[in-house]
Structure 1
Amino acid sequence: MMRDDANTQTLLSLRHRVDILARFDLRDELAEEILLAADTRGRDRASAGTVSSETKSGMEHTVRMVGSVAGSGRVSVGGHIVGGDLNMCGNASVNPNDAKRTYFEHIMSSCAGLEDRWEAATGAPMMDITLLDTFVPPNVIDRVAFGEDRLGGRHRVRLEDIEASGVEVVGGWEVVPMSVVEYLREHRSAVICGEPGMGKTSLLKHIAMMRLLREVSGDVNLPALQGLIPIMVSAGRFVGSNHFSRSASALWKFIGDELELFPGLRPVIEDAATRGGLCIAIDDLHAVADPKAQVTMAQAIIELSRSFPASQVVVVSRSLRAVVRQLFVNARFAITELMPFSIEQAKAMVVLCEGLGIGGGSARQLELLNEIVGMRDLQEAWSCPGVWMQCVVRCLAGRGVPEDPRHLHANVVTDAIARWLSDDNELGSLKAYVGIPYLRKQDMEECLAAAAHRAFEAHGGCSISKAELMDVIAPYLGGDCGKAQRLCDYVDVNAGVLRRVDGRYEFPQRLQEYLVGKWLASQPDFPSAAADLLVAEPEKWGRALERALQVVTPEVGILAVEMVGDMVEMREGQSQRALVAAASGLVRLHQRLKHSRPHQTRVTERIAQGLVRLLGSTSEEWRLRVEAGNVLGRLGDVREGVLSELPALARIPDGVVWLDPDSSGAETEGFKYAVKYDYWMNRYLVTQAQYYLFLQENADHPMPVGDRSYGWMQGKYPSGLANHPVVLVSWYDAVAYCEWITVRWRLAGIVPAGYVARLPTEPEWLLAARGAVTLPNGVANRWPRRAYPWGELADPECGNLAEGGEHRVYGTTPVGAYPKGASPYGVYDMAGNVMEWQNTSWGSFDVQEVGFISRYDLEDGREARDAKGLRRLRGGSWLFAERDAKCACRLDPSKGFPDVGFRVVIAPAL
């Protein structure tokens, strides 16, 4: 194969990682293809006895780049198009192949390492852990069409599975994991979203490295993403440049200016652009804090994509603002989300890190890590790649796992500073290096926090110039600029919290957020200062406040949250996003306190009521309502009938309702049906928290399992979903819950004589959703045969449905988050969120047959507990298109699904 040790070691690293991933049924397609090409070349050489010098030298040179990486850093390359034509400066006298290799070396050395450095063991030298050794490819969310056969064999198998389970769907969707490589192969222009620590930047680096290894391999037959030269662009740096504007030419000029660092590269890039051989990766779009600037940035990206229709454009960001998301949707960018680590992915990372020899990897350390994986209470740690990597390395190095993994960022900062100040450091103590023997850890923490704040406040990002850095740190070093210079020199070769990249100094993003929060917490007037900043710019300062609340005393933190609530009320709801951010910070405070305090309880109740008002507002943007509902669920949803077993009931008077043709097997047109009794329906779907109460009293009843996103672990529902509808419950599970709650409600005096709590019949459900032909008080129903609970027309503001465009959620949402979609009787989520089990039987286990062929008859046995056949469902779900929300489905009553739940009615016993 290859001659020198570096070449062999690189391939061995790739092969080792691929083999480890395979143990857990995981894949890295790009690495596998490189190894396949290397094996093929090795066999060819063995048979031919020779190999071209160009192919050999190219691969050896690139592999040596990886083998010799000693640091990490983020490449920022940026750009300009003039009149739609590529015009890039460069020195044409330089050999293009040499320029290409120099550029590749820069990309490889910048992308090979992770953001942070670690000690292999206490007191040991710092070590870089490369992506080649430890990268576990994440998955993204993919939509699979139930009723379409356009997506290849994998999706046909899914369709067959679904049909075999007895689902009849006109055109719903299912969300499944999909490899990033496969996703990018299918989509030329894509936006990949993910929360902090989900591995967005590491993903771009990994793809860049693998592409370059493929490029120099000379094997053009490899199918995945071949021939694409990566150009990585920092969104924050483009916004801070003189070129910033909405045009593609401005973005390309920025790219061209930075590519001037590589003389002679112009013909290479021109050729790649002409043949569609560029992959332009835009990193950290969310780092553009100003909303208008982010819109401008998105417009420039879209125009650049149109200017190079054959090249690929990939954007990574946290969640997108609504207007930015819509811009990308309109431009036909595919938008997806990184999925949290599965248990298999988390365990694979443990094995990969253990193989590096960190701290010896004692049996107890490995046992502890494997105990953590799968623990519901620590899912926030092991399901987040960035946080989990820090947990694994700290544990293997003998430092254990923090009691609260959310404090890992503070641990990393304090560990790095302690190492700088230690006499055991291989470079000597920082105190001796800068000539300040009394330099304290606290001084350095404050110094770094001030620098992180300067970068954040001035540029909205993580980087700061050397001049700015020296200006910030000099006061902490006695005002001596010479000592500030020496500290910068020390950081250049002893990174960990701050690193030098392309002439600027950058903080790893997660650490910068912690340090900015620490700076905010250090302000003498923290409560009022934090409230002012948050209300003025909630999207920019929300996460910093969360971090600050992890540092300040609980009393001070609660006071800051209270002041935000005061200011939001005074400004008459104009700063509702600030309220959501403050509530999220309050959740963090609760996690720090084992016992609630009177002032804390009062503030929590007040903030929770503010979130309830926001959740019920029909004037607020849907995404903010959903976010408010999610935070409310973690804080403690105070709405009646959501977390407790007591219901929030809507009275449904007797009346005549139109039944669909589908409600009667023989009818081709709808007909009227009289429901001759009053009944009550719960306004909300049964939630995860309510079902948890049921399982606590019925320990032998099976838990909802079978789905990575919604399956229960260790007797508890997924974290953060307390006020979401319970899913993965069968019809029999729902009936068992109703029987249990009947007893509870009867004891509470809620269920009258002759009535029970049960699943609704199909006419009962339709009456509550559509309203009677004549509504209460003799008012005529404007839409007695309405398609949706809110009216005749589909409206993504009214329900959580699959084809919502920018409104797409890809999962359940808190109950009642779409108040515009309430039925005429005030019942929520009757179209969207989850499908709802009906008591009514289809009468057959074959979806093509109808067991009950006559018009609906309450007495014909279709409502019997022991009625044979599939059970009916109504309402559509987050997997269903809007047009299908009005259709009925039939499912096997013994199975649960990730988009099927139920609600309870109090009605006459059947």
Structure 2
Amino acid sequence: MNNDDIDAVDSLISQAKEFGAAQLFALPDASIVDLATGYIPLLVNFTFEDKAAKGLRRLTDQAEPEPAVYFSALEMVRDHPTVVLTGETGSGKTTFAKHLAFSLAQGGFAPRAIPRNDLCAVHDEHWTLEGVVPLYLTVEPSKTFEELLASSNDVSFHADRGLLLILDGIEAAGDAGRQLLADALACQSRHPAVKLLALGEVSVVKGWALPAGYVRYDLLPLLKSQRRETAARLAGLDLGATGVALGNAAANPAQFLMAMHGGDAGDSAEAITDSWLAKISGDAQTSELFCGLAFDALTAEVDDPTIMPITRVRQLLAAVHLISKPADLAVEHFRKNPGLWAPVMTSLAARLSGTTAASALVEALIDGEGDAVLRGALLAADMVTAAGPLRDRIAEHLLAIVSDGALSAPEREMAGRRLSLWGDPRDLDALADVAGGEFTFGSDSHPNSAPPHPVTVDAFRIGVYPVTNGAYGAFVRDTNRLWRSPDGFSDDRRNAPATDLTWHDTRAFCDWLTHRWRAQGRISEDEFVRLPMEPEWERAARGGQRDMGADVLSYPWGHTWMDDAANSEEAGFNTTCTVGLFPKGRSPYGCYDMVGQVWEWCTTLWGDDMATPDFKYPYSNDGREALDAAPSIRRVLRGGCFSSGELKACCTYRGSLEPDGFWRGNGFRIVVSR
């Protein structure tokens, strides 16, 4: 490394060290806390169980699900070369990024114990990488990745020197955001010693199809234990005794600080705002001035970053400002920048609840056509609860979002959850007709799936969707069967796949549904419901697609991976979602979610070795469809799940699990045959 490079690195370290002294927030006694002192470790939506289940591990019969234990944001940066962290405004993205840069400049992190859930799970957080230099960049509109680098004195990249490149505020790139990330990834690929961290507003970034190579996690709200510890450490406050800042709305870091400062319980963002505003302003006229300034700053009419610098605070105060303004003004700003203004609209609606102005706001949101109206309907769905013509109009838009694959996948999931609450009108028990005949089965893309060979199946019908929580829940209520799913009976998850099911659970459901559908006349007396045999599952998934060689995978939609076609690892949900959200990924026979979403049980036997099947291909009548095999014999799972990448979320990859095993990524779909 030459002298210029040494000077550049020293400059980066010096800049990062300055972050530690930055003012972070004010305590109730008006004293100021800096970033080095006030930082709260953040968690992400990835659990210890998720990591263990990447390989589909065994779970013993009757075992209860363990409470979720979450990884920290720091650990995700440590463990991945390229990671995107997203969160809502006020979630602590920039604070995390600057504290990370500051700590690296100080020489790294000492191990520290941090809470992983509110059930007393505490694990040490470790940073195991030595000598990493931070390069913190704030993304600016219209600037390319190369221009951002140039603005940092064009730091050279060296394979012998670790560098963490931090791109904060990637939502500012707008439509060029994906290209910005692609260019950053290309740079990282050329320089293996470089790690890449990008942070962005979830309402914007969730709609981007990230370039292959990134992993994305969402920052979680603050735990109550984190809030109690922070208040005691920094302000000597006992939140448990006072009840301050422990409400759900105070889980947002920015709102937590406001609630603690204003002495509010934190049950709603509006109550937090009012308490905080009353304390800092002192009178109504000053409060009105603050709210007007926040509105102007949010609309960029006042370009002064020192005015209410926290975006979440600006949004909450802008909502107060808009109470007395025409509904069209708020909707105009929302349609120009939905990600920035959605929290404003939500807060405004809460303040207008029960008034004629609230109805006017909803009407303005759903008036018109196109994606802007669909987004307006999605937002309006949170504002209207009572059944009636207005809610029916909103529901029609929500159904279009889900059925047509409109908007981004996370927005479709929001629409799906609302439809679940109101009553999803789709026939989620629908069956698809699958033609019998010979087709290509298997692939050389993985040894356990080889060789590709012809197999003949009889005609059958198969579920258009995986079996949902609503359907399986009816079975559980009728039979009192044990079900280990933590959210199986959640009202907003009735149209999501049923999970945490053993192979025996799924077969019991099939027997129950056979009798139920015969009684209803839905199937004939000589038909029955069962799990698919492995060739039937693959036939329904790939149709008549031919094998294209070991390097070409088969997906329900063709031989090329397609963004936004499956709830896979690339989608970033890291959990199940409403069924049917990915119509681009329908199989040739019209089946949804055949890959990604949940691993689906088949009747077919695998063997007792997780790595290598005893029942190899070619498929034959060799006892592999025996239903009375020993409990140690694993059954085949197909399709991958929400944490599977494109190599597993395909038509030919084979998974397996003991019949007494279960996991939140395992589900099933039914077959009807004679």
TM-score by shorter chain over 0.5:
yes
Match of 1:825 in 2: 589
Classify 1:759/1:339 alpha carbon distance in 2 versus 1 (closer, same or farther; 3 Å). Answer: farther
Match of 1:647 in 2: 429
Give the % identical residues: 21
- Secondary structure, counterpart of 2:604 in structure 1: strand
Q: What amino acid is the match of 2:265? A: G
Q: Does 1:137 align with 2:41?
A: yes
Distance 1:746 1:324 in 2: 44
Distance 2:478 2:199 in 1: 45
1:443-522 equivalence runs, <5 A: 443-458=285-300, 464-465=303-304, 504-522=306-324
Name the structure with the higher helix share.
1
C-alpha contact (below 8 Å) 2:568/2:646 kept by paired residues: yes
Q: CA deviation at 1:699?
A: 5.0
C-alpha contact (below 8 Å) 1:658/1:672 kept by paired residues: yes
Match of 1:607 in 2: 394
The Cα offsets for residues 68-105 of structure 1, whole Å up to 9 and x where unpaired, read as xxxxxxxxxxxxxxxxx99x99xxxxxx99x9999677
Q: Does 1:788 align with 2:555?
A: yes
Q: What amino acid is the match of 1:551? A: R
Classify 1:158/1:695 alpha carbon distance in 2 versus 1 (closer, same or farther; 3 Å). Answer: closer
Equivalent in 437, 449, 468 of residue 687 of structure 1: 468
Match of 1:318 in 2: 201
C-alpha contact (below 8 Å) 2:472/2:509 kept by paired residues: yes
- Secondary structure, counterpart of 2:321 in structure 1: helix
Match of 2:26 in 1: 117
Q: What amino acid is the match of 1:729? A: L
Match of 1:283 in 2: 168
Q: Does 1:730 align with 2:613?
A: no
Q: Which structure would you say has the larger Rg?
A: 1
Equivalent in 79, 83, 87 of residue 194 of structure 1: 87
Match of 1:764 in 2: 536
Classify 1:101/1:535 alpha carbon distance in 2 versus 1 (closer, same or farther; 3 Å). Answer: closer
C-alpha contact (below 8 Å) 2:440/2:455 kept by paired residues: yes
- Secondary structure, counterpart of 2:602 in structure 1: strand
Classify 1:764/1:283 alpha carbon distance in 2 versus 1 (closer, same or farther; 3 Å). Answer: closer
C-alpha contact (below 8 Å) 1:579/1:611 kept by paired residues: no
- Secondary structure, counterpart of 2:455 in structure 1: strand
Q: Does 1:588 align with 2:382?
A: yes
Match of 2:658 in 1: 892
Match of 1:214 in 2: 107
C-alpha contact (below 8 Å) 2:532/2:602 kept by paired residues: yes
Q: What amino acid is the match of 1:448? A: F
Distance 1:855 1:249 in 2: 56
Match of 2:217 in 1: 337
C-alpha contact (below 8 Å) 2:56/2:657 kept by paired residues: no
Classify 1:215/1:357 alpha carbon distance in 2 versus 1 (closer, same or farther; 3 Å). Answer: closer
C-alpha contact (below 8 Å) 2:409/2:564 kept by paired residues: no
Q: CA deviation at 1:202?
A: 2.1
Distance 1:630 1:638 in 2: 14
C-alpha contact (below 8 Å) 2:599/2:665 kept by paired residues: yes
Match of 1:475 in 2: none
Q: What amino acid is the match of 1:329? A: P
Distance 1:672 1:531 in 2: 57
The Cα offsets for residues 287-331 of structure 1, whole Å up to 9 and x where unpaired, read as 56x545x579769978998999977664321248679967x838x
Distance 1:234 1:734 in 2: 50
Match of 1:18 in 2: none
Match of 2:122 in 1: none
Q: What amino acid is the match of 2:358? A: G
1:378-457 equivalence runs, <5 A: 382=251, 385-386=253-254, 393=260, 399-402=264-267, 407-408=268-269, 410-420=270-280, 422=282, 439-440=283-284, 443-457=285-299
- Secondary structure, counterpart of 1:671 in structure 2: strand
Equivalent in 847, 850, 871 of residue 614 of structure 2: 850
Distance 1:796 1:216 in 2: 37
- Secondary structure, counterpart of 2:603 in structure 1: strand
Match of 1:93 in 2: none
Match of 1:126 in 2: 30
- Secondary structure, counterpart of 2:85 in structure 1: strand
- Secondary structure, counterpart of 1:566 in structure 2: coil
Distance 1:883 1:272 in 2: 32
Distance 1:737 1:685 in 2: 13
Q: CA deviation at 1:216?
A: 13
Classify 1:385/1:897 alpha carbon distance in 2 versus 1 (closer, same or farther; 3 Å). Answer: farther
Q: Does 1:812 align with 2:576?
A: yes
Q: CA deviation at 1:508?
A: 1.8
Classify 1:512/1:733 alpha carbon distance in 2 versus 1 (closer, same or farther; 3 Å). Answer: farther
Equivalent in 797, 801, 805 of residue 568 of structure 2: 801
Distance 2:298 2:264 in 1: 31
Classify 1:530/1:889 alpha carbon distance in 2 versus 1 (closer, same or farther; 3 Å). Answer: same
Unaligned residue ranges in structure 2 (runs of 5+): 61-67, 111-126
C-alpha contact (below 8 Å) 1:818/1:828 kept by paired residues: yes
Q: CA deviation at 1:362?
A: 5.2
Q: What amino acid is the match of 1:649? A: L
Q: CA deviation at 1:836?
A: 0.7
Equivalent in 618, 628, 645 of residue 412 of structure 2: 628
Distance 1:216 1:818 in 2: 42
TM-score normalised by structure 2 residue count? 0.76
Distance 1:358 1:541 in 2: 36
Classify 1:103/1:541 alpha carbon distance in 2 versus 1 (closer, same or farther; 3 Å). Answer: closer
Match of 1:862 in 2: 625
Q: CA deviation at 1:203?
A: 0.8
Q: What amino acid is the match of 1:451? A: L
Distance 2:606 2:403 in 1: 36
C-alpha contact (below 8 Å) 2:442/2:449 kept by paired residues: no
- Secondary structure, counterpart of 2:392 in structure 1: helix
Classify 1:752/1:205 alpha carbon distance in 2 versus 1 (closer, same or farther; 3 Å). Answer: same
